[in-house]
Amino acid sequence: MKRKITDDQRRRRVRRALSIRKKIEGTAERPRLAVFKSSKHIYVQVINDIDAQTIASASSVDKEARGTFAGLKKSEVAEKVGALVAERAKAKGVDGVVFDRKGWPYHGRLVALAKGARDAGLKF
């Protein structure tokens, strides 16, 4: 049985996200790795907050990578998306990032995404 997300749970997560976001800032040397996850997909961006620029991005709905995700579990897809965003960021000259999990607990798909990015050579 699926659990329904209540307004109170969503409000608490957004409040945590805003609290975390006040402390995290991406620079040109260490941009912010921002993650959004829905119930089906995961989206990642490498953002330079000073210039307000997205350096690289990847998601589970990317046209060029979507075929490689067929038949995989969501955590396995997250790991591949992490590796994909790391490759794209390294191609743009980014070696290290600051991880912004947007209020989500560091568990499950976020751990898999971080593992994929680290294995591809991105430093947190």
Give tens-digit pLDDT for 45-80.
Answer: 999 999 999 999 999 999 888 888 989 999 999 999
Task: Give the CATH number, domain containing residue 111.
Answer: 3.30.420.100
How many distinct structural domains can be found in the chain? 1
Cα angle 61-63-68, degrees, rounded to a multiple of 5: 80
Instruction: State the Cα–Cα distance between residues 90 and 1, nearest whole angstrom.
Output: 41
Q: How high is the pLDDT of residue 2?
A: 63
Residue 80 belongs to a domain = yes
Residue 1 belongs to a domain = no
pTM above threshold 0.75: yes
Residue 2 belongs to a domain = no
